[in-house]
């Protein structure tokens, strides 16, 4: 169901009842698309439609989203399974099990937020498209790791992953169910540690600042509650390093790990076939041993 368009001069938090009109309260409504959300409207949605399963919050590209900042962490959607936020900024990307207990898919695009805090035990898909973090993101790894069912992380131009008060920020991802990690054009991403025994695809294309990627064979300390996967049963993966900086400046084992089944590069000029993965592995091992 699509709510009505607002009058001209849209503002995100005006108290005018004429600002925006929602459908009548309906406890049976399971899907809602709201094209001009505000915090006032969100409160009404949470109260009037308690059984929503799919919620789409977006502002058209013809509107400036600078003045729109939603505080989704202040509202509870007990039955929501899919949430999309598009062309709208968030106070913070805080989505916790108390407010979103069964959320499975979260899409954030064309906006920004301060920090991130996730605790979504049923989350399976997380999508960022042209999204920016403006505050410290030390919680990025721990947040994703609170979603043990996460199968797919898709990012395009997810910026701000280098924001930290530390001298060096290494994002550690513990994702026992994840098969696909995509960080395409995450320009300021520098360091990754990944425990993902089911991983099949790792995309670091055009991650211009990437400096180290380490694949972990065992769960890091603090994740003993997650099931262990023997090394012999862990999946093979392919990694895309197209335009991801100098391969020989990349630390970590992502290319030479036994699970790595393929590397995509644009290095024909380097004197080897970029599709000859085993030749690349041997060359990288020789180079690392010589250091």
145-198: pLDDT as tens digits: 999 999 999 999 999 999 877 657 789 999 999 999 999 999 999 999 999 999
Residue 159 bridge partners (DSSP): 132
Confidence of residue 101 (pLDDT cuts 50, 70, 90): very high
140 and 222 together in one domain: yes
Pairing mode of beta strands 212-215, 260-264? unpaired
DSSP 6: P
Give pTM, 2 decimals.
0.86
Query: How is residue 270 written in tokens?
Result: 């380097």
Number of residues in the chain:
291
Query: Quick one: 152 and 11 in the same domain?
Result: no
> Do 58 and 158 reside in the same domain of the chain?
no
Specify the DSSP class assigned to residue 3: P
One DSSP character per residue, 193-262 reads EEE-TT--EEE-TT-TT--EEEE-SSPPTT-TTSPP--GGGSPPEEEE-TTSS-GGG-BSSTTTSTTEEE
**Number of domains observed in the structure of the chain:** 2
Q: How confident is the model at residue 264 (pLDDT cuts 50, 70, 90)?
A: confident
Q: Are residues 85 and 198 in the same domain?
A: no
What integer pLDDT is reported at residue 164 of this predicted model?
79
What is the pLDDT confidence band of residue 277, given thresholds at 50, 70 and 90? Answer: low
30 and 147 fall within a common domain: no
Clarify whether residues 25 and 133 are in a common domain.
Answer: no
Decide if pLDDT at 10 tops 70. no
Q: Which of 69, 91, 113 is the last residue of a domain?
A: 91
- pLDDT bucket at 7, cuts 50 / 70 / 90: very low
> pLDDT value at position 11?
40
Q: Are residues 118 and 33 in the same domain?
A: no
SS3 215: strand
Q: Which token pair is 44?
A: 């009404």
C-alpha torsion sign, points 271, 215, 235, 232: positive
For residues 71-100, average pLDDT: 97
3-state secondary structure of 227: coil
DSSP string, 140-204: HHHHHHT-TT--EEEEEEEE-TT--SSS--EEEEE-TT--EEEEET-TT--EEEEE-TT--EEE-
Among the candidates 35, 56, 91, a domain finishes at 91
Q: Report DSSP letters for 86-123, one per residue.
A: ES-EES-EEEETTTSTT--EEEEEEEEES-EEEE-TT-
Same domain, 79 and 113: no
Residues 32 and 133 both lie in one domain: no
Range of the domain at 152: 96-290
Looking at the fold, whether 57 and 107 belong to one and the same domain comes out as: no
Q: State yes or no: pLDDT of 9 exceeds 50.
A: no
Helix ranges (H only) for the chain are 39-48, 140-145, 277-290
Question: Which residues are CB-contacts of 154 (< 8 A; sequence separation ≥ 6)?
Answer: 125, 126, 127, 128, 129, 180, 182
What pLDDT does 27 receive? 95
pLDDT of 102-153, one tens digit each? 999 999 999 999 999 999 999 999 999 999 999 999 999 999 999 999 999 9
Comparing CA positions, the residue from 37, 28, 30 lying closest to residue 6 is 37
Q: Of 91, 117, 132, which residue is a domain's last?
A: 91
Same domain flag for 59 and 102: no
Backbone angles phi, psi at 12, to 5 degrees: -75, -25
The reply to whether 161 and 284 lie within a common domain is: yes
């Amino acid at each position: 169901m699509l709510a009505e368009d607002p009058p001209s001069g849209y503002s995100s938090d005006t108290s005018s009842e004429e600002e925006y009109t929602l459908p009548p309260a309906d406890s049976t409504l399971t899907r809602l698309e709201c094209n001009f959300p505000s915090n006032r409207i969100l409160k009404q949605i949470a109260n009037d439609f308690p059984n929503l399963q799919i919620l789409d919050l977006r502002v058209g590209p013809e509107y400036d989203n600078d003045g729109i900042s939603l505080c989704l962490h202040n509202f509870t959607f007990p039955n929501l399974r899919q949430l999309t936020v598009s062309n709208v900024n968030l106070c913070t990307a805080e989505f916790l099990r108390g407010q979103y207990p069964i959320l499975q898919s979260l899409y954030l695009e064309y906006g920004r937020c301060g920090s991130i805090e996730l605790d979504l035990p049923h989350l399976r898909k997380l999508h960022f498209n042209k999204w920016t973090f403006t505050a410290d993101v030390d919680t990025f790894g721990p947040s994703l790791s609170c979603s043990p069912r996460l199968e797919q992380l898709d990012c395009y131009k997810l910026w701000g992953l280098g924001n930290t008060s530390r001298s060096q920020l290494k994002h550690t991802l513990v994702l026992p169910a994840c098969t696909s990690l995509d960080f395409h054009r995450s320009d300021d991403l520098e360091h990754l540690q990944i425990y993902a025994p089911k991983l099949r695809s790792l995309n670091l294309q055009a991650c211009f600042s990437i400096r180290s990627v380490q694949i972990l064979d065992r769960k890091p300390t603090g994740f003993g509650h997650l099931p262990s996967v023997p090394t012999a049963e862990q999946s093979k993966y392919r990694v895309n390093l197209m335009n991801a900086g100098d391969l020989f400046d990349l630390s970590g084992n992502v290319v030479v790990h036994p699970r790595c089944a393929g590397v995509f590069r644009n290095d024909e000029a380097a004197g080897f076939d970029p599709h000859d993965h085993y030749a690349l592995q041997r060359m990288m091992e020789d180079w690392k041993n010589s250091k």
